[in-house]
Every structure is written in C-alpha cells, then in structure tokens.
C-alpha cells in the first residue's frame, strides 16, 4: 500500500511541477495528509486533520486542492445520498464499490468479481454498452446491527428495510384492523416509505398499506436478513481489496512475477510497449535491476527487455508473487 | 530474364543480417535510405535463371511512422513494391514477431514467413506447427538456421515461387478487427474505392486502417492525390475515431494494437506447443555476471579499456608503417618532381592531406571491429542498460554512451556510431556534444603547451582539460535538451537480445563497410581542405625575401665544398659536414616562416589579431588554430613553422615558445580553445552528412563561440587574479 502511495506522490510531483501549479509545497502537504488516512473525508475534515499536524490552511484552499487532485486523478469525489461531498483515494486501474451505513455513516469499500461480471453481463444482455457504474449499498453496518435491539417497533425501521412481524401490542381493535388488512404475525413486510413521525407505507407481496405512526408504534418487528441462497464468506475489516493487490511494475522486486492489468502513460510510450508485446494480460517477470537501480530488466513473452523505472511506473500489475523461474 | 526484388523484413536480432550475408556474400553495397541516415543494404544473387536483388530493410518491431527506420521500411514496401517480402521471424519469439508480420501482410505484397533460429527454439522446448501456421494465414512458411546456413535454398525457391504465383500482390489472411472497427474500415474503403477505382497507389484496406490510426504520412499522401477528397475523408476519419474513442475509451491506435495481439494470441495458441524442457539458459547465466550489481561496472570498464588499448596500441604499429609509407612516397615524389608549385602542391597539399587521413585507417578498422563485436554478441545493449541511469541525467539515452566514449579516440567514428540511436533528437544531441570529448589529435597540442609551461603539473592540467570537456558536454547537453531539442526523450524500451557467438563473416563485413564509408567521405574532404589550407599558406608568393636565401644556401654549400678535402668534389654518398646541413635547414625554416607570415593565412591571422588578443593568443598561434581546422595535429606543426622550427623538434619548439613571450596563462587559454573549438573539417563534414548542413554550421559556430568564451574567461579571469 505504502509503495503505491509513494508512487502516487512521485507522480503528483512530476505532474504538478510540469503543469506549473502554484503553491506546490502546500498542495503536496494536503495530498500527504489525504493519503495518510484511509477514510472518505470531507473538506472540513481534511482541514481539521491538517491543523492537527500543524498546517493551518484555509478550507477554501483545501477544497480547491482536492478538486485539483480529482482533476488529475489522484482523488475521487463521492457523494452519498444528499450528504456532503467526500473524497477518497483513487488508485489507478482499481475499482471498488461502497456500502454506506445509514446509522453511523460509516463507509465501507468492497469489490466482488462476480458482481462486476454480473453487471457486465446484464448490460450486455440488454445490448447496453456500459461505460462505468456506481454501486452503493445502503444499510446498517455490522457494528450498528449488533447494538440494535432485535425486537423493535415498526416505526423505527428504516425506509427500504425488510422486517418480519413478530407481535402486535395494543387493543383488540387495532389487532382486528390489521388482520382485516391482511397483516399477520410472521409476515414479511417491506418499508416502502417512512416520513419520520408521520405515515408509513409498507408492502407485503403486491399490496401496499398506509399505517399511521400511532399504529406503527404498536407493531413489533424483527430485522429480516435478505434471502440468500448461497453462503458467502464474511469479509471482515474495511479493505478486502488488499487480498488481491495491484501494484505498479516499478514497485516489483527482482524475481517477482505478475500479470499486467493496465498499461498507462503517454500514447507514444504505450504504443511502443504494446508493439514490444507488453500489453494487458501478459505475464511479466522482473529479472533484475541495473546496478544503479534504473533501468530494470524484464522477461516478457520469452524475451528480455529493459525499461526505465519511471516508464515502469505506468504499468499496473496484479497477482504478484515471487517465483523461482520466469 | 527479369530481376526480382526481394525485401528482407523482420525484428532486430531476428538474424536478418546473417541471412542477408548468407544470400549475397560479398556482392553487397551499403548506402543510406533516401533522405535519412539509416543504413540501406542491397545485394544481388543469381539463382538458376533468376536474377535477384535483395534489400535488407531496417530491423523494426512495427511499421508505425514514429521512427525513421520504420518509415524507411514501410515506404520501400509501399512505393518500390518489391516482388516478394521475406519476413524473418525469430522462432523462439513467435508472438512478438507476428505483430510486425501482420502489419507487413496488410501492405498487400506476396509474403514468405521464415522461421529463423529454429534450432534455438527447439532447444527451448518450443515446437511450431508450420503447416498449420501456413494454413491459418495462407502464407508459405519455412524453417531456417541462419548461422549454419541451413534452409537458404528453400528460402530462395519459396520466395521466387511466391513472387511468380501472385505477381499482383496478395498476401494471405489479414487481421480481423473488432466488429465496430471493421464497420468503420469498410465505410472508409467504400469512399476510397468510389473515388479512386483501383487507382489508389496503396492498398485500400491498409489506407483505411491507417486513417483510423490517424497516420500523418498517409494523410499527407492522400492530400497530394486528391485535395478535394482529402477534407471529406479526413472528416470521416475523425468522426470514426471519435466514435471508437467513445466506445473503447482509449486511443483507436491502442485499440487496434490490442486487436492485433488478440488475433495473434489465437494463432500462437493453435500452432505453438511448449514442452517443459528447461535447459540451462546460457544467456541468462552470462548476464548474471556481466550485468551483476557489483561486477557489472568493473567488467564494463575493463572492456572499454581493452577496446581503447587495442585501438590505440595495436593500431600504433600499422600506423607507423603507413606513416613511413607516406614518408617514402613523399621522398620519392620529392626526387621525381621538378621543384616548383606543382611539387609543393603534391607534397604539402595532397600527399600530406591524404596521408593524415589514411594514417587513422588501422585505428578505425580496429575500433569498428570492436564495436561490431559488441553489437553482434549482444553486449552493446547491456552497456546501454548499465549506463542509462548516468546518461539519463544529461537527458540522453544509455546508447549515447558508446559514441561519446569513442569521441575520446576520434570524433568521426564516434559521430557515425550514433546511428545506433533510434530517436533523431537523441542522435542530434549526442552528435552535437560529442566534439567536446577531447579526441586523441588534441593531445599533442596539450603535451607541447602543458609540457612547456606547467612542467611537473602538466599531467594535472591535461586531466583538467579532459574533465572540462566532459563538463561542457554535460552543460551543453542539458541546455540543448531544454531549448533546441526539447521534448520527451525516447522511451527506453530496449530488447536485451540473447548473447550469441558472432560470425566472423558478418564481423568483417560490418567493419569493412563502415570503414569504407569513412575513407570515402573523409578522403575527399580532407583532400580539398588540405589543398585550400596549403594554397592559403603558399599564396601570394613572396618574391622579395628580406635576404637572398638561395644565395646564402649556395654560399654555404660552396664553403663546405671548399673546406672539404681540397680538390675532392662532393660525391653522392659522402655526407656533408653536419654544421652545413644545420645551417641550410635553419635558412630554409626562416624562409618558410617569412613566406607563411606573408601569405593569405598570415594576413588572416594578423587581421584576426583583435579577436585573438583578448584571449591572450598572438597571431602565430591564431594561424596555427586556423590551420588546425584540417586536423588538430596540424596546430603543432604550424606553430613549428611559424616559430621557425621544423617538424618533430618538440624541444626546440618548447624553447622557442618560452622565448616568444607566451605566458602559462595564455598557454592555458590556447589549450582551452583547442579543446573546445570545432574539432576538424572531417568531423564537421561527418556532422553534415549525419544530420544536415544547418546542424553542421550550428555546431561550428557554437563550438567556436564556446571556445572563445572559455578562453576569454580563463585569460581575463586569470589576469584579474594576477597569474
């Protein structure tokens, strides 16, 4: 991870100095601070973090810098629902989706190959050419869920949540009314709309019901897990991405092997690399670095080729492992 | 009997040149491709009833219009329409080689695939199903082993057959691109065909593909063909390009490249079987030592040292023979020719001029032999690999190192060695700064001047001069890189070919070709240059000397005859008394001195005195510097003449210099000037040949300017400091 951040800092220096961006040193501090955390931060939070490190900066300046970072592809702007604008790291060639906890506001990153492929399949099936996609799952994180009471009045269920009716409190008349509407204990209901304190709309099967707040207080429900017909391994921790890390070729060590995911850089360089057979999906082996640590020697498609380290920083590799023979 | 043209194409290191040498032997000539300084090799072969002209195209990985080699190769196939293109493929490297092969096939000439180095591939456990490959691509495929001369007959026969069976030009199955791309290609083809009806000089499909790739050369040729259509087509191509960009989110060139590789990957999967027979890879083992972290540099330095030792110490012996040969020749001419202008012209102009070039022949042969050895074994690529980091700091490519190093020997071969650099900007940059590497011809000047004025510290001073040259080269390099030759330096994507045992035949051919080029080019220029300098220092003839030299000489001779034993005449074979010879030669030297002072060049030197005086150089040294244009060694001999001492009497010259009022400071200033100013006519001419007249002039002005500035700083700065 750190080597990747070092790479990005290096690229930042190159790019911004070439572009002649003003206040370079200050902006570099912003980037540094931003890369240190792994969270999705708002401008205000970044400004506060900077202040903690003893860098007092104007929040407008920080915002401008973050926008610049987005513009140059070092950060990514994300906005969940109508929340404030947040920024996350942008690592080239890597895509991930988000889970947002509606209770504590925690944001989780995840990646699922099956899901990615499925999305592509679906799009293809509709003859739809997918350019990009955003996948956000809203819900309650495992931490919040564990502190939640299992049995709760329906009025506290969140919009979009699916619950199972456990019991009715209150008088006979209320029970009768609900039964006559067709709601019984053990039914699975979905909260379609919930305006805090007002009316709620729930649905079972194909029918909708409007329930006033008073009545909703009397219905006790259980949180219902989504119906999944297969087991998924529980992923713990915030960054499942680490398990299949992608790194820059320049960060690879002697004797390591990997598969190219992406060839970036200027058009001339990319073409030249591709002509020599260094393209996506190719297995690449780092034979050695020159005595002065630059250039490096690679084995690709059965022949030896040398590249400068700065050029190698345009190539992203995955499935990196140390092997004995190329 | 019709002459068939056969072009050899292929990747670098695919053994193309070996096959070319096998086919043509000594019947080849080396020249340049029109307009560019890429070596063009042509040879002939008589095969049964056929006369074959074989052209060795430059080795490339692709046919994009980015490098001059690729353009040269492509234009040859497109414009000259060879009867057959023989594509040499390194069998151990099929996948990468097929990329170029696919592009060649798009050019619509009859093609033959030659899977070369088949033995090497087999030993690596690679089996290629040639029949299947031939069937899949609809192209004849054969195997050869170039360095063992195997399969050459089949090659020629297959090529002739291919040329005759489809003279119109048909070349197998082509890459099928993505459906979106194919649609756009066929749209463009329709428009092109509607307009040209088979009259388009280039293959239409290829033109359409190149338009999608936004190929500048194709656009230009289209503009020449039909200006009114050009706009329409360009608009269409631009639209198609932006459509592709929208679909694939990438440059169309990249998408097409990806597609080609996709197609190739499919073919490779069908025809190649890998057996896991892992043999010890010799080349990798050698590299473990030669590019080792600790041993790499010492070994490299040793090789370079050995190359210089060979070149200059081994070369010194034949050099002596040639020198004495030239001496003998001029002595004979001296005897044969009647005294007069013609004799002077022959002796001092032509013989001396040609002699000064031919003397370097052994050095050059050895140097080029070493370089050919480095190149053919594959070590050259390793030197670039080792040195790139260092050279990159100056804004140069690792491959620039060898030419610059050779500059310490002689600038002319050094500049010619820059041909190994692919990027024209890198080449020009290397060429422009190489003359600051102090060549061996400058050493005699330093030895005389430093020896006279710095005594024991002479060594340090000379080392300092070499070092100054390197610093000026680095500073100039950075300066040019950030001003005149701006731009990204070429990507350092370089193949490190496997080490190979070089073939004696190709080494000799390589060495001889380049040396021949050197002799041919330089001989002419040096000849003309020396005649001009000779004329400048001979005319106008001085009629009235301050004293009657001829009379004096006669008098002395007469005296000597008198003093010799009475009555006995001077007979040939009897040495005249030594003091008489000395007196005569003294008189002749004085005569020479007076003549040169009176001549154009003397007048020029005196006229330029205001230019030379700020840098502490008197008119005599100024004249010496001007004559140094022919070759730097001449500086010493001119000084000898002007200070009234003959050649080769360095002690006398030292004494004369000391008496002349030259100070250590002005000597240093002179040495700095000699170090930095235009190396010599031959170098300038080489620069002209390798780049353009503009760059040659620029180099002349720039180096002289730097030299004057440097000398000025030394002299004035030194004077201010009180030296």
Compute the nearest-CA separation of B170 from chain A (Å): 24
Closest residue on chain A to B295 (Cα): A291
Strand pairing of B3-10 and B84-90? parallel
Distance from CA of B492 to the nearest CA of A (A): 6
Residue to mutate among B243, B496, B497, B498, with most A CBs inside 10 A, is: B496
Say yes or no: B471 contacts chain A, CB-CB below 8 A: no
CA B115 vs CA A41, B100, B417, B572: distances in Å: 59, 14, 30, 74
Q: Which of A113, A121, A119, A122 is nearest to A133 (CA)?
A: A119
Six token digits for residue B524: 């002419």
CA-CA distance, A37 to B412, in Å (whole number)?
59
* SS3 call for A315: strand
Chain A residues within an 8 Å CB radius of B216:
none
B519-525 own/partner pairs: CB under 8 Å, 24+ apart = B519/B357, B519/B358, B519/B361, B521/B685, B521/B686, B521/B689, B522/B357, B522/B412, B522/B682, B522/B685, B522/B686, B523/B354, B523/B357, B523/B358, B525/B681, B525/B682, B525/B685
The β-bridge partners of A188 are A164
**Tens of each residue's pLDDT in chain A, 326 residues:** 566 777 777 777 777 777 777 777 788 888 888 887 777 888 888 888 888 887 788 878 888 888 888 877 788 887 776 677 888 877 766 778 888 887 777 888 888 888 888 888 888 888 888 887 878 888 878 777 776 666 778 877 777 788 888 777 766 666 777 777 777 777 788 888 776 656 788 887 777 777 777 777 778 887 776 655 444 444 444 433 334 577 889 888 888 999 998 888 877 788 888 888 888 888 899 999 999 888 999 999 888 999 998 889 888 888 888 887 66
Looking at this predicted complex, what is its ipTM?
0.76
Record the pTM: 0.66
Q: Do A297 and B291 touch (CB under 8 A)?
A: yes
**Within an 8 Å CB–CB cutoff, is residue A255 touching chain B?**
no
Please state the length of chain A: 326
Produce one character per residue of B433-449: b if its CB has 16 or more CB atoms within 10 Å, e if not: bbbbbbbbbbbbbbebb
* DSSP code string of A175-210: HHHHHHHT--TT-EEEEEEE-TTS-EEEEETTEEEE
Query: For residue B492, which residues of chain A lie inside 8 Å, CB to CB?
Result: 295, 306-308, 311
In the numeric block, which tokens belong to residue B28? 């080849």
Select the residue of B261, B386, B392 nearest A291 (Cβ to Cβ).
Answer: B386
Q: What is the dihedral of CA B638, B643, B645, B651, to 10 degrees?
A: -100
DSSP string of B139-205, one letter each residue: S-EEE-BGGGTBSHHHHHHHHHHHHHH-TT----PPPP--HHHHHHHHHHHHHHHHHHTT--SS-HH
Q: What is the pLDDT of residues B303-339, one digit of tens each?
A: 888 877 787 678 778 888 888 888 888 888 888 877 7
The token pair that represents B460 in the structure block: 């340090």
Both structure tokens of B118: 């088949």
Chain A contacts of B251, Cβ < 8 Å?
267, 270
Q: Quick check: A119 contacting B, CB < 8 Å?
A: no
Start-to-end C-alpha separation, chain A: 25
Residue B298, chain A, CB below 8 Å: the answer is: no
Q: How far apart (Å, rounded) are the C-alpha atoms in residues B423 and B349? A: 40
């Amino acid at each position: 991870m750190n080597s990747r951040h070092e790479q990005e800092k290096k690229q930042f220096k190159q790019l911004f100095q070439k572009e002649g961006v003003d206040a370079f040193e200050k902006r570099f501090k912003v980037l540094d601070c931003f890369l240190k955390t792994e969270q999705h931060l708002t401008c205000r939070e970044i400004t506060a973090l900077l202040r903690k490190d003893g860098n007092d900066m104007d929040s407008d300046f920080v915002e401008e810098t973050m926008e610049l970072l987005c513009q140059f592809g070092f950060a990514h702007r994300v906005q969940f629902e109508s929340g404030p604008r947040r920024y996350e790291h942008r690592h080239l060639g890597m895509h991930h989706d988000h889970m947002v906890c509606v209770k504590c506001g925690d944001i989780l990153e995840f990646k699922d190959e099956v899901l990615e492929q499925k999305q592509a399949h679906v799009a293809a099936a509709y003859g739809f050419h997918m350019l990009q996609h955003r996948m956000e799952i809203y819900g309650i994180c495992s931490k919040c869920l564990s502190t939640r009471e299992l049995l709760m009045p329906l009025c506290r269920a969140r919009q979009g949540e699916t619950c199972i009716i456990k019991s009715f409190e209150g008088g006979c008349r209320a029970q009768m009314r609900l039964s006559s509407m067709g709601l019984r204990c053990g039914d699975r209901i979905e909260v379609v709309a919930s305006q805090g304190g007002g009316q709620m709309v729930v649905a079972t099967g194909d029918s909708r019901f409007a329930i006033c707040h008073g009545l909703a207080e009397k219905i006790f429900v259980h949180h219902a897990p989504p119906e999944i017909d297969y087991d998924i391994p529980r992923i713990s921790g915030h960054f499942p991405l680490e398990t299949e890390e992608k790194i820059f070729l320049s960060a690879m060590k002697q004797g390591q092997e990997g598969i190219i995911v992406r060839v970036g850089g200027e058009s001339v360089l990319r073409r030249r690399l591709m002509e020599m057979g260094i393209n996506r999906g190719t297995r690449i082996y780092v034979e050695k670095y020159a005595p002065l640590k630059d250039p490096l020697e690679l084995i690709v498609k059965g022949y030896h080729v040398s590249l400068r380290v700065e050029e190698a920083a345009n190539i992203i590799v995955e499935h990196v492992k140390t092997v004995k023979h190329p | 009997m019709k002459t068939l043209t056969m072009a050899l194409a292929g990747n670098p290191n695919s053994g193309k040149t070996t096959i070319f040498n096998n086919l043509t032997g000594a019947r080849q000539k080396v020249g340049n491709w029109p307009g560019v300084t890429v070596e063009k090799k042509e040879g002939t072969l008589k095969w049964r009833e056929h006369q074959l002209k074989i052209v060795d195209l430059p080795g490339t990985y692709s046919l994009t219009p980015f490098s001059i080699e690729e353009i040269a190769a492509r234009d040859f196939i497109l414009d000259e329409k060879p009867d057959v293109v023989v594509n040499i493929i390194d069998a151990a490297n099929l996948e990468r080689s097929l990329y170029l092969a696919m592009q060649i096939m798009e050019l619509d000439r009859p093609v033959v695939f030659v899977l070369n180095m088949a033995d090497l591939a087999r030993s690596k456990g690679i089996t290629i199903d040639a029949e299947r490959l031939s069937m899949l691509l609809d192209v004849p495929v054969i195997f050869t082993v170039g360095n063992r001369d195997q399969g050459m007959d089949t090659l020629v026969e297959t090529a002739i057959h291919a040329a005759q069976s489809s003279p119109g030009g048909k070349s197998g199955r082509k890459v099928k691109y993505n459906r979106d791309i194919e649609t756009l290609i066929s749209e463009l083809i329709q428009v092109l065909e509607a307009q040209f009806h088979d009259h388009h000089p280039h293959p239409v499909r290829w033109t359409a593909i190149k338009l999608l790739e936004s190929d500048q050369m194709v656009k230009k040729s289209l503009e020449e063909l039909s200006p009114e259509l050009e706009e329409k087509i360009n608009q269409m191509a631009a639209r198609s390009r932006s459509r592709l960009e929208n679909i694939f989110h990438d440059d169309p060139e990249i998408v097409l490249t990806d597609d080609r590789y996709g197609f190739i990957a499919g073919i490779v999967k069908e025809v190649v079987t890998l057996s896991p027979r892992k043999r010890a890879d010799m080349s990798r083992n050698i590299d473990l030592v030669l590019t080792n972290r600790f041993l790499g540099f010492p070994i490299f330095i040793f090789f370079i040292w050995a190359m210089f030792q060979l070149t200059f110490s081994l070369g010194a012996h034949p050099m002596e023979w040639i020198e004495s040969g030239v001496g003998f020749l001029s002595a004979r001419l001296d005897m044969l020719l009647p005294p007069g202008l013609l004799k002077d012209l022959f002796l001092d102009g032509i013989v001396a001029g040609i002699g000064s070039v031919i003397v370097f022949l052994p050095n050059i042969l050895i140097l080029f032999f070493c370089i050919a050895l480095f190149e053919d074994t594959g070590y050259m690529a390793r030197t670039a690999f080792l040195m790139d980091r260092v050279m990159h700091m100056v804004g140069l490519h690792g491959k620039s190192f060898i030419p610059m190093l050779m500059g310490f020997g002689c600038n002319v071969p050094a500049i010619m060695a820059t041909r190994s650099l692919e990027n024209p900007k890198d080449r020009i940059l290397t060429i422009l700064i190489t003359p600051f590497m102090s060549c061996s011809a400058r050493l005699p000047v330093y030895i005389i001047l430093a020896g006279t004025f710095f005594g024991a510290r002479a060594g340090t001073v000379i080392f300092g001069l070499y070092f100054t040259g390197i610093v000026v080269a680095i500073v100039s390099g950075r300066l040019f890189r950030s001003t005149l030759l701006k731009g990204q330096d070429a990507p350092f994507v370089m193949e490190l070919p496997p080490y190979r045992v070089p073939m004696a035949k190709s080494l000799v051919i390589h060495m001889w070709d380049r040396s021949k080029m050197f002799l041919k080019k330089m001989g002419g220029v040096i000849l003309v240059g020396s005649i001009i300098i000779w004329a400048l220092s001979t005319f106008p003839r001085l009629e009235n000397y301050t004293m009657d030299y001829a009379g004096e000489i006669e008098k002395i001779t007469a005296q000597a005859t008198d003093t010799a034993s009475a009555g006995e005449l001077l007979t040939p074979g009897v040495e005249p008394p030594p003091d008489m010879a000395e007196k005569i030669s003294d008189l002749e030297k004085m005569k020479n001195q007076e003549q040169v002072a009176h001549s154009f060049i003397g007048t020029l030197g005196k006229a330029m005195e205001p230019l030379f005086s700020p840098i502490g150089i008197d008119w005599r040294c100024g004249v010496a510097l001007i004559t140094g244009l022919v070759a730097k060694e001449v500086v010493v001999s001119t000084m000898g003449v002007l200070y009234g001492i003959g050649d080769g009497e360095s002690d006398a010259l030292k004494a004369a210099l000391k008496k002349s009022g030259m100070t250590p400071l002005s000597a240093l200033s002179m040495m700095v000037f000699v170090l930095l100013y235009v190396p010599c006519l031959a170098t300038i001419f080489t620069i002209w040949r390798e780049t353009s007249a503009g760059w040659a002039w620029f180099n002349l002005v720039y180096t002289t300017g730097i030299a004057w500035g440097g000398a000025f700083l030394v002299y004035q700065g030194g004077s201010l400091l009180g030296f």
